[in-house]
Amino acid sequence: MPASADAVILPVFKAPGTRQAMISIQRFEERDWPATWKILEPVFRAGETYPCSTAISEEEAYYYWIEQPSATYIATDNDIHVEGSYYIKPNQPGLGGHVCNCGYVVGENARGRGIASEMCIHSQHEAVAQGFRAMQYNLVVSTNESAVHLWNKQGFDIIGTLPGAFQHRRLGFVDAHVMYKQLVTP
């Protein structure tokens, strides 16, 4: 898949012991949907990290990930395989619209290679470019420790913890964190 005109080639992230990959991140285009859905579906079906129903249909997922957000991006490996995707949207209307919300998914076979970090960094640049002043994650599942750790490393604070706010498919009701980062100096 060729990079589109607004593709941004980010510095390669190479964690010790993981193979190097040239990840490029670009705007989602319609033709990317089948490959994007292929990585989203198992994550949504698992019911461990995203609040959408585990029975979500492809059409509902398309609305949730592509239509509703203001923009969606894909991360590709050497410009070939879709390995990750994220969306960005205002978290609230009007007077709360300067705070954005993002969601990130990395394909099951592409984990541990820093792709989520790359997408998080990319999303922060995009957010500022689009005029957002802060980024908020509304429901970071407390048992998803690698995500909590990753967002922490990216400068997001746990603003608070919502008791039992996520119905984990295996674990039942578990806590979820609200995480937040100011992107622009107040």
Q: Given the rule CB under 8 A, which residues bind a copy of itself?
A: 47, 50-54, 56, 64, 92-99, 133-134, 136, 138-139, 158-169, 173, 176, 178, 180, 182, 186
Q: 73 vs 156, which CB is nearer to a copy of itself?
A: 156
Q: Which residue's CB is nearer to a copy of itself, number 153 or number 173?
A: 173
CB 126 within 8 A of CB 96: no
The length of the chain, given as a count of residues: 186
Instruction: Tell me how far, at minimum, the Cβ of 149 lies from a copy of itself, in Å.
Output: 19
Tell the smallest beta-carbon distance from residue 163 to a copy of itself (Å). Answer: 6
In 79-184, the DSSP E strands lie at: 81-90, 99-106, 134-141, 157-168, 172-182
Helices (H), the chain: 33-46, 58-62, 115-129, 145-153
Q: Which is nearer to a copy of itself, 71 or 165 (CB)?
A: 165
